[in-house]
Amino acid sequence: MSVETIDSESLRRAMVDQLADDHVDKGLTLRPEVEAAMRTVPRELFTPGLPPQEAYENRAVITKRRGEENISSVSAPFLIAEMLGQAADALGGLKGRHVLEIGSGGYNASLLRELVGAAGSVTTVDIDSEVTDRAVACLKAAGYDDVKVVCADAEHPVDPGRRYDLIIVTAGAWDIPPAWCEQLTDSGVLVVPLRTFGMTRSWALRRAGVGLVSVSERQCGFVPVQGDGAYDVQYVDVADGVHLRLDEGQSLASQGLEGLLVTPRQEAWAGVSLPPPTVLADLDLWLATRIAAAGQEFVVLTAQDAAISSGVVAPSWRFGTPAVLHDGTLAYRSELRWTGDAFDLGAYAHGPDASAAAAAAGRMVEHMRDWVNAGCPAPALHVLPAQTPDGDLPAGTALDKRHSRIVLAFTTDGREP
């Protein structure tokens, strides 16, 4: 056995040990079969050209770019493990299952091949022939050449008439096309990184009548779906390195935003003391629904490192912080304030009228308190056909997309708060 092989095995063991620890920190459990698969598949064979040390880092590896845009990647190990866990939990295990993966790279398909076993099957599809050619070569090198690789636009049926126990999407989707539902078995599960209110979550969805309903969700980020299912994200500049991300058909004029962040910062705090495992991704979706229900403009603030280090903004997460723009005032969820091992939630606001900005920060913090007082409820997602009448929608906040009417609600022990 070569030194390089020994090093790769050692790196793989260390990576999976870290994933197990990360799951514990998040209050999750790394399923034994997922752990075994990740200890078996040589990730470095799916990241050719990278040193093994980089292949086993807990981050995504970008494999193709178009200009400044990332269009293909090998996903971060922690996210792969969480999504495979979502799928296995929802189906009660993957052994013997027939799986369609949408968005190919080879590594995830090889893990799925380990999980489904000899009685199962894996088909992986991508719209880009360069990506599928690369996946074929990597899968063959790793010994998984029984994975079926298809080059096609998965917005449409991949193999008309065939149905799958699991469809797992490894690209960021804005909607759920009818083909995905049609290709699921009656008890099948769809795991998809779906964007709602400009924020992406990996949802595990089961059939429920004519639609789908979620059984779990995780925070995530992916390169966007291409082809007929693509949907452009719009950005509006607020300051150098600070942008507002728009979605769901929003439009926003940039006039009046320049200089907004140089006005004095107002702040408000919820006065709560929360433990680190608290899932703040759930809070972000709660804020989106409450701000939208109030008739205000919910947006997502993104910031570059330089804008944060210089003190221009101090967001909760630079890649996507909930924000509200109303009457010339911008408020957003702030960085956390820690006291010992617990943290408080806050909001920062800017605007030409200091009292209006202070009130905006206070309103956002009030939504946060409501979430905490409701027991930090988790979101539930319902997906129904686009033609569903309003009267047939479940309670919650509805979003209309191309093919679907999506309803976001919140539950505590299975009840609406």
Which residue among 8, 72, 75, 202 is the active-site one?
75
**Which structure tokens are listed for 209?**
């009548």
User: Which position has the token pair 């140089």?
Assistant: 262
Taking the chain, what is the end-to-end CA distance rounded to the nearest angstrom?
59
Distance CA 373, CA 358 (A): 22
Q: What are phi and psi of 62, to 5 degrees?
A: -75, 125
Query: How many alpha carbons fall within 13 Å on the CB side of residue 73?
Result: 22
Distance CA 329, CA 293 (A): 18
Say whether 310 is catalytic.
no
Q: What are phi and psi of 342, to 5 degrees?
A: -130, 160
Task: List residues with catalytic annotation.
Answer: 75
